[in-house]
Structure 1
């Protein structure tokens, strides 16, 4: 089983290693973060923690049974009881239900600990795995959009009554 942990300073080294290890894998489906992301990682990590402390974002890492970082699930742009969901799971853990379980846990925490009432998410139409994760977690398709120049879908999930 996987465990979801709120991002903290001590995750920096493992998170950087995770992003480096999976850079090519992620770039197959989402835009690459670019060399600057890796070169300035320490400052970026500190900035994320500051955003989290300010309550405008909630960042999480996903770890496996052995404590290895295998993914991340984030809630960004927290405002008015809502936030936008983003997630990524490393290549070794893909296709094993990790993203579905981690998103379910973050949705639970979002409604209880963070007091959110809804979450939105976007993905491209051709990302069947991401769409499946959202649909398994009770996200409903709301509208067609464009994501990085590609056809996409905006989803929404209410956290009221869950």
Structure 2
């Protein structure tokens, strides 16, 4: 089992450790965040909290209920007109065990019930079959082509209602 925790100031150290531990793993499927991301992490963390306080973004840590370990992130960004963009990443040690599907499913429920969103969008590169599978399993449907960091991809969308 896992749980989502809304991002807080006291998550900073654990989140930085998670990102450092999984940097090479994430870079295999998404562009690396670069050294500046890690060097400027405290300021970036404060900026995320400010965005969240404004209501335009909702950031969450994915925590393993069994041992309390931070295993991923799932975020809703750029909320406007009751639609937000979904992003997520699960660390290497938890990959392939359904954590991404469970976290995305849970954030879809929160998006509708707690944040008042009516739809979510997401995008994945064509070579990221695992992320595309998570989106399909959680009710997202392809709506068009896109380019992500110079790589071809697909845009997805999922309508939400208060029951989901």
| Structure 2 residue aligned with 1:5 | 5
Q: Distance in 1 between matches of 2:14 and 2:57?
A: 20
Aligned residues: 162
Q: Distance in 1 between matches of 2:81 and 2:43?
A: 28
Q: Deviations over 1:67-94 (max 9, x none)?
A: 1101000000010000000000000000
Q: Distance in 2 between matches of 1:44 and 1:144?
A: 30
**CA drift at 1:96:** 0.4
Q: Mind listing any 5+ residue stretches in structure 2 that lack a counterpart?
A: none
| Structure 1 residue aligned with 2:81 | 80
Q: Distance in 2 between matches of 1:38 and 1:23?
A: 10
Correspondence list, 1:95-106, <5 A: 95-106=96-107
| Runs of 4+, deviation exceeding 3 Å | none
Mean alpha-carbon deviation: is it higher for 144-153 or for 59-68?
A: 144-153
| Structure 2 residue aligned with 1:131 | 132
**CA drift at 1:27:** 0.4
Q: Distance in 2 between matches of 1:36 and 1:146?
A: 24
Q: Distance in 2 between matches of 1:29 and 1:126?
A: 8
Q: Distance in 2 between matches of 1:149 and 1:34?
A: 17
Q: Mind listing any 5+ residue stretches in structure 1 that lack a counterpart?
A: none
| Structure 2 residue aligned with 1:92 | 93
Q: Distance in 1 between matches of 2:21 and 2:102?
A: 22
| Structure 2 residue aligned with 1:58 | 58
TM-score by length of 1: 0.98
Q: Distance in 1 between matches of 2:48 and 2:73?
A: 13
